Amino acid sequence: MLDFAKKFFREAQANQNGARGKLRKEKAPTDPSEMVKYTKSPSQDPKFNKLAVEAFLAVMKFMGDYPLKGQGEVDSVFSLLKFSENQPEMRDEIYCHIVKQITSNKSPKPDSCHRGWRLLYIVTAYSKCSDNLKPYLLRYLREVANDSKASFQGMARVCEQHLRRTLQVGGRTQLPSSMELKALVAGRNSKRQLILLPGAIERHVKIKTNSSAMDVIEEICQEMGLHRQEAQEEFAIFLVTNRGESVRPLQKKEYILDVSSEAEKVDEMHRFWFRRIVWVRPLKFDNELYISMHFNQILPEYMNGLFLVLTAGRIDDQLTQQVAKLAALQHRIKGSDYQPTQREVGEYIPAQVLRMQRPQSWLGVVLQHSAQVQALSAHQARAQFMGLASALPLFGSAFFFVQSSSNTAITTPCILAVNQQGLSFLNSITHVKGASKPGLDTGLPSPSLSGVRISACESEFTCAAES
């Protein structure tokens, strides 16, 4: 940091009105290294920028080196973060103040330096520094982190990680809530966040101040045995508010605590969902959580008839056998040791195909398959169900209910299935296939669904028509 001070502090004196003008020397010390070392009192130089003095005092107050005068320690941190948000040109100033006060710290307060590092831990998760300061600050943190004799080696390593993440994806966009800030000041660096997987499977994920949606996805995917990035990219985190009426996917780089802080303003009972949204990679069957999660996500779509492409009024023998075995597997998954009844069989078959045969006929063919799957465990039955369902025509599609379209080739309302093969439009009641498009290029809605006003996954989408 001394190199930065020599280069930019001196330059600032000749450019007092510029952005660097706030980085001024206090009294032109004889030894330049004194510019970046702890001082027990703020500058008395009348030329020193007022905001810079306020920021420096906030640092000293938090570190216990200046009276709080009725303020709390949380107030000092909040004021610094507020400075950073409202005055971006102050960010380097704040970083320099903190580094100065933790370097050669000779405070009579025994926890002063520790509190200074705690402050740096918080600020690095929220604020970028300039490109000018970046190499010097990273080098400073790296040197402390690599110094086995340094008292705050571990803290420096975490601060470096925070800063690199902030520089890469941007800092936090929301100021921390009072509860979060109190926890950070007290040294509690993480919280357990409930993430709901399909089937109401609960996972409590450790969330730190700079944890992103991608971090959560990675942790859950690792638990499911998915270690490659391309596999993890097929999943998403959703924010659910208003009792499920509003659902939106999070961008991979969004900070979980930012999203939660914003959501609390409209719904204190908001939730986070984990779902698979892309189905390029094949299913795997060697991880119990993976199988349970996928089965629970697949089952409702299957029972809504979304995987099926039907011919009006008819069902062929192959599809009859597939549907019957899937029904038998569902009965086995329930752990039932008895043969399914006619009523239960009706609950295992999508309504669109159930009405195509007499109930007694369905019962007979399901009973045949039920005997074959009786020896399976529930886990094995789920895996077989997934394997069979994945062979159905529209498995792995994204489904949307199309309310209207300017394209006259599409009869609305209907169901739109989007997958790697293209677009398929199904009758919303019978699921008989209507218009289709092998590619995703012209004539029909693009992959971004421009041109169709749709509702999907409990969310509303409105798009403009493409010609």
Domains and CATH numbers, the chain: 2-185 (1.25.40.530), 190-276 (3.10.20.90), 288-389 (1.20.80), 398-461 (no CATH)
What is the percent of the chain where pLDDT is above 90?
Answer: 60
Helix (H) or strand (E) holding 271: strand 271-276
* Residue 294, Ramachandran bin (φ over 0: left; ψ between -120 and 50: alpha; else beta): alpha
Rounded CA-CA distance 367/388 in Å is: 18
pLDDT of residue 463: 32
Candidates 304, 314, 299; CA nearest to 355 is 314
Q: Please provide the DSSP assignment of 96-160 as one string.
A: HHHHHHHTT---SSTTHHHHHHHHHHHHHHH----TTTHHHHHHHHHHHHT-TT-TTHHHHHHHH
Token pair of 447, please? 């992959």
216-231 confidence digits (pLDDT tens)? 999 999 999 999 999 9
Is 174 in contact with 258 (CB distance < 8 Å)? yes
- Half-sphere CA count of 221, side-chain side, radius 13 A: 20
Which portions of the chain are predicted below pLDDT 50?
11-30, 440-467
pLDDT of residue 48: 63
Q: Please provide the DSSP assignment of 171-218 as one string.
A: --SSPPPHHHHHHHHTT--EEEEEEEETTTEEEEEEEETT-BHHHHHH
Candidates 315, 300, 298; CA nearest to 431 is 315
- The answer to whether the pTM exceeds 0.85 is no
pLDDT of residue 432: 81
The 3 state secondary structure assigned to 28-46 is CCCCHHHHHCCCCCCCCCC
Token pair of 73, please? 């320690």
